[in-house]
Structure 1
Amino acid sequence: MTETVLCIKKELLPESWVQQKSVVPLDLDLFIKKCSIAGFKFIDRPDAEKSTSYKQIIPYIILQTRDLKKTAVYNRQGSEQRLHDLWSIGIGGHINPVDREKENDSFEKILMSGMERELKEELYKRPEGELPSFIGVISENITDVGKVHLGAVFRILTDSPENFLPGQELFQFSWKKTKTLDRLNLELWSTLSLDLISAQLRI
């Protein structure tokens, strides 16, 4: 059975979100409002992967210690062959119809449901009280993956990194010093996310 994924027509998204490289600090309400106005649809993933006229919306969740000194990383070994052997700081994936309880569910409800499902799939255990907060949008039109995806970036700040237990997809999961991450061969979205965190700190 063909997977269907949540997409928004690229031309209906704010221009600043879909530049060659986009790093846009943003609050959740404005992100939800802009996406809701643009409208969304579920499209067969093979078609969405070929069409640069749509952006597939991906919750991308970063784990950091509260003092920001350490960031969780893992090595890409999953189903997306184009990202293999790159290091990532983002946990996440596609939003599917399973994330919509009712036909008329809002974009916000579907997005948050998809994000929570991804966290449950990727982490066997995590501290209950530490919740993801939205920090902004990343996008790029450089890599084949980036051309058809838009990242909705969330972050969990934790006081107890040892209480995160990774699932099998998070290969070589570990906590690294944030200031040394540039020594890793990071996927482009991870580099953009670090830029987003820096931009947010300057606001």
Structure 2
Amino acid sequence: MSKEQEQVLCINRKRLPQSWVSRRTVLPMHFYTFADTCTKAGFSFVRRGIAEEDRQKKQIIPYILLQTADGSMTAAYNRQGSEKRLHELWSIGIGGHINPEDTAMETDSFKNILETGMQRELDEELIQRVTGDPIEFIGIISEDITPVGSVHMGAVFLIRTQTPEGYLPGDELHRFTWHATQTLCQLDLELWSELALELTNSLNPAL
């Protein structure tokens, strides 16, 4: 199936809180609040070729960060994947679109669909990971500044690990390396990574 024919999870932006879809959104949030609001807003799978051109829809993307347990180091990679508009930028977020394959049954909850898609993305992007490390939902990011951002919303998850060497990248995570979190701003980061860093810093103001 081509990228344009792929079915992706979307929510009508008019049914989301205005604070979620501002020009530049960084909101710490509990997972229950996010999932409950999205459920009430209503979600559907839309052909990606259509969704990418429709600013009235927000495609929901799990965006997963890897950090050491103390938050001092963060994994980053250089984008070389299918989204050519992000090529050569650095990213700290692993993730991608949620598809119908992440739905076990038609009655699956938004929460279950998102968690299934998030786990699938980790399995696809990493050839090895520490399965015992907790995965925490920390909030959402969104922006209407770039063409990519205007049609997507990031559901940000954070993995904190005592064993960063236990994470090995697949081919899509080009030049995957661990960086001092404080020096990430020296990289040419995609905007979503800047927003995600702002979100994590709000949880760890000392870093």
TM class, shorter-length = over 0.9
1:74-89 correspondence runs (5 A): 74-89=77-92
In the other structure, the counterpart of 2:191 is 188
User: What RMSD, in angstroms, separates the aligned Cα atoms of the two structures?
Assistant: 0.7
In the other structure, the counterpart of 1:66 is 69
User: 2:68 matched to 1:46?
Assistant: no
Q: How many residues align?
A: 202
What CA distance in whole angstroms lies between the structure 2 residues aligned with 1:102 and 1:68?
A: 37
User: 2:59 matched to 1:56?
Assistant: yes
1:53-202 correspondence runs (5 A): 53-201=56-204
Q: Deviations over 1:136-155 (max 9, x none)?
A: 00000000000000000000
Deviation of 1:200 after TM superposition, in Å, equals 2.6
Deviation of 1:67 after TM superposition, in Å, equals 0.7
What CA distance in whole angstroms lies between the structure 2 residues aligned with 1:201 and 1:85?
A: 28
In the other structure, the counterpart of 1:5 is 8
Question: Aligned to 1:33, which of 22, 31, 36?
Answer: 36
Runs of 4+ in 1 over 4 A off after TM superposition: none
What CA distance in whole angstroms lies between the structure 1 residues aligned with 2:203 and 2:151?
A: 25
Q: Deviations over 1:95-127 (max 9, x none)?
A: 000000101111001000000000000001011
Q: Deviations over 1:33-71 (max 9, x none)?
A: 100000100000000000000000000000000111100
What CA distance in whole angstroms lies between the structure 2 residues aligned with 1:107 and 1:74?
A: 29
What CA distance in whole angstroms lies between the structure 1 residues aligned with 2:92 and 2:168?
A: 15
Structure 2 gap ranges (5+): none
What CA distance in whole angstroms lies between the structure 2 residues aligned with 1:135 and 1:200?
A: 9
Structure 1 gap ranges (5+): none
Amino acid at match of 1:52: R
What CA distance in whole angstroms lies between the structure 2 residues aligned with 1:87 and 1:165?
A: 17
Percent of aligned positions that are identical: 56
Amino acid at match of 1:114: G
Q: SS at 2:204's partner residue?
A: helix
Deviation of 1:128 after TM superposition, in Å, equals 1.5
